[in-house]
Structure 1
């Protein structure tokens, strides 16, 4: 006898996985309640659904799996061996869903929720600790997940959903971001203490055109600002070293490897002299960025308001 071909289209493995997840997910809680009570009516009463709805859901679940999960005697049921195996995994899945729900509710708690906050390396030693300390004076239980990185990496993480807010420089201009300028920070030309310019207090950047520079790597905001300022001063800097951290550069300046444009240090470092740049105007803007259209949890909204209230007073004197 010839075999009849099924009229149902065959699913690819990936399509089958997506389809079976859609089938199973809404029914796991129903299944778990029936298995726990071993009685359809009592399970339906607990779940607040009609008994007929629950019975049909269990029949469809077994049909979709192609396995009998229950042995039935009226409205009383008992699990088959396959049903017990399925129950173990269903309970584990439901527990993970409950755990995830508890986690997101905890993160959104107005008094003890979580803020994922990114900031520049150069703001980690003094500025960010001072901000968090001041914010937690009124919000002592709010938790912070902190990410320290360079600007472009933080913006990527912001777009991927890994950050709620970030402090960055330069302040980005992108249609998917909301940004607010908070403050600006003067940059100084840092030279070794035995350098020909070390006796000066002020300098035009063009006077350093023949110097070798140590800079941050391409992609860092401060590197872009350095390149732009040098271009404005009429030269392209000769770069001896590209690093990832401003204080490393300051140490290399002290060692005589070159000069650098850097923000003020948290603590004065021996071996270097820091000169005020009079022309061009050497500053970097510091701003806060977040994704446009993304709703804030209460703790994120509170911290955002706090940051915006610090406009012009973000950085330590």
Structure 2
């Protein structure tokens, strides 16, 4: 009894849960195997472990828990009521571990693994679907987990290990990240169809200095680019509305609520006119980034090589 009390104290609620798991986990599969066969010798043969090893593991498990899991009759055993309750939880835990192991193996399978890929909202309608379609022509079974977010949030997900790769604009320059420029995209000044500038095809951005702008919120790469371009044109934009999605901004422009610097739309939007900006040079660079030192799985490495091979032709014509 004293030995059981000492063992139970090691697993008391005040103990460290991680220590409990480390103590019990190696013995759970042995316990489940013996519970399934109700025979120590047979279980040892099935699991290909020495019978003495199996017997000692079961004794230690009971001592560590401070309960009797088996009623013993020679080499034949049967579960106690406590043992049956414990077995139900152990089988669920072992099944979950097996499922997690299968998923981990599947994710790194060169032919059918998974890539967790992030990209800005502005590239979700056309660019990313086109890229994945082209990549899967040679890798038809690779799976993707797609994450859309704004630039700073995307980089934080990279740093947290939640993404394998991400498209980003501007291209980041940070010591803990690796980034490669892939392409650039022209930005246009979008104005309402009845705007005083709507009859123009080209414009210097300085000519819009007195306009009200609608922009993405701070933290978005396109917002940073907008602020930088306006500063180069000699003014700070007067901002009336901030949003989270480029097509929403186009809707605000169509409603006459301001003008915006935006990349070309996937589908032309009625109610607006898109003007070419001649000065300053209005483009946004698109790059791919990943965490420095990150070890790529085969499917991630294949997709990275594919993206880098698309330099200069990442974006649709």
If the length of structure 1 is used for normalisation, what is the TM-score?
Answer: 0.92
Match of 2:312 in 1: 312
Q: What aligned pairs does 1:260-271 form with structure 2 within 5 A after superposition?
A: 260-271=260-271
Q: Deviations over 1:148-187 (max 9, x none)?
A: 2211222222233322211111112222222111111111
Aligned residues: 312
What displacement does 1:282 show?
1.2
Match of 2:145 in 1: 145
Compare 87-96 and 31-40 and name the one that shifted more.
31-40
Q: What aligned pairs does 1:3-82 form with structure 2 within 5 A after superposition?
A: 13=13, 15-82=15-82
**Structure 2 unaligned blocks of 5 or more:** 1-5
What displacement does 1:252 show?
1.5
Whole-angstrom distance in 1 between the partners of 2:71 and 2:245: 67
Q: Deviations over 1:171-224 (max 9, x none)?
A: 122222221111111111111222222222222211211111010111111001
Match of 1:167 in 2: 167
Match of 2:127 in 1: 127
Match of 1:204 in 2: 204
Whole-angstrom distance in 1 between the partners of 2:70 and 2:11: 27
Whole-angstrom distance in 2 between the partners of 1:265 and 1:36: 62
What displacement does 1:55 show?
1.4
Task: Establish whether residue 292 from structure 1 lines up as the match of residue 292 from structure 2.
Answer: yes
Match of 2:3 in 1: none
**Structure 1 unaligned blocks of 5 or more:** 1-5
Match of 2:250 in 1: 250
What displacement does 1:137 show?
1.2
Query: RMSD over aligned Cα, in angstroms?
Result: 2.0
Whole-angstrom distance in 2 between the partners of 1:11 and 1:230: 64
Whole-angstrom distance in 2 between the partners of 1:279 and 1:9: 75
Whole-angstrom distance in 1 between the partners of 2:14 and 2:186: 55
SS in 2 for 1:15: coil
SS in 2 for 1:199: coil
| Conservation of the 8 A alpha-carbon contact between 2:213 and 2:239 | yes
Hey, which bits of structure 1, 4+ residues long, moved more than 3 A?
A: 8-16
Whole-angstrom distance in 1 between the partners of 2:130 and 2:244: 23
What displacement does 1:9 show?
8.7
